[in-house]
């Protein structure tokens, strides 16, 4: 390379190009590390939110006339190369409540959950002859996702300010049955 006083335009462009390449590589490495940390944080945060919902879930649904007796957390199934994970599953011998837990609940989350509910019996065939109800839970609710979920026949759970969770739906709410004899819940 030439001395500083003898640098050509080409030399300067090469130096800038090399500096840009090194900077791009460092930026890519930094972006990768940030994404890894965000994924770790989000996963751990999600588990915390599920842990807040789980203790009160059975009682909340029992008070609404859904006499669930078992709680299963992070239930997974794999069939025909596809996978499904359920955050929280509440069951008895003839009913199941599938609960999707989000830190921030958005309309797009509700739509995705409705798709999952439509495939639930495929992934969990032991429940194909039961009534299936859906519920979404969120600490923060955006875009009126609660109202959208309510109109779709889903229970909506949210924090009540004291570390407790409550069902936001009115007491007269009749959830949609996404399982056998799909439609509204049969009155008791």
69 within a domain of the structure (yes/no)? yes
28 within a domain of the structure (yes/no)? no
21 within a domain of the structure (yes/no)? no
pLDDT of residue 45: 60
pTM: 0.73
DSSP state of 169: S
CATH number for the domain harbouring residue 89 = 3.40.1350.10
User: C-alpha angle 106/110/113, rounded to 5°?
Assistant: 135
Residue ranges making up the domain that contains 73: 38-184
23 within a domain of the structure (yes/no)? no
pLDDT of residue 99: 96
Give CA–CA dist 41/123, Å, rounded.
28
Residues of the chain scoring pLDDT < 50: 2, 186-188
Torsional sign, CA 106, 163, 75, 188: negative
Q: What is the pLDDT of residues 92-107, one digit of tens each?
A: 999 999 999 998 899 9
71 within a domain of the structure (yes/no)? yes
Give CA–CA dist 97/1, Å, rounded.
72
Beta strands 131-141 and 155-159, pairing class: parallel
pLDDT of residue 188: 47
Q: What is the pLDDT of residues 59-79, one digit of tens each?
A: 999 999 999 999 999 999 999
SS3 47: helix
pLDDT of residue 46: 63
Structurally, how many domains does the chain consist of? 1
167 within a domain of the structure (yes/no)? yes
């Amino acid at each position: 390379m030439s001395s500083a006083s003898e640098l050509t335009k080409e030399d300067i462009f090469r130096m800038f190009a090399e500096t840009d390449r090194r900077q791009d590589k460092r930026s890519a490495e930094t972006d990768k590390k940030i994404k890894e940390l965000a994924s770790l944080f989000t996963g751990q945060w999600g588990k915390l939110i599920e842990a807040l919902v789980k203790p009160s879930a059975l009682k909340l649904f029992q008070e609404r006339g859904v006499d669930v007796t078992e709680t299963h957390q992070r239930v997974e199934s794999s069939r025909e190369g596809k996978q499904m994970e359920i955050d929280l599953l509440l069951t008895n011998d003839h009913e199941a409540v599938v609960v999707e837990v989000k830190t921030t609940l958005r309309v797009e989350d509700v739509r995705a959950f409705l798709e999952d509910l439509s495939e639930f019996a495929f992934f969990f065939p032991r429940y194909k002859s039961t009534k299936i109800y859906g519920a979404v839970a969120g600490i923060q609710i955006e875009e009126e996702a609660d109202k959208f979920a309510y109109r779709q026949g889903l229970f909506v759970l949210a924090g009540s300010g004291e570390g407790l969770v409550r069902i936001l739906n009115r007491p007269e709410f009749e959830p949609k049955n996404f399982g056998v004899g799909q439609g509204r819940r049969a009155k008791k």
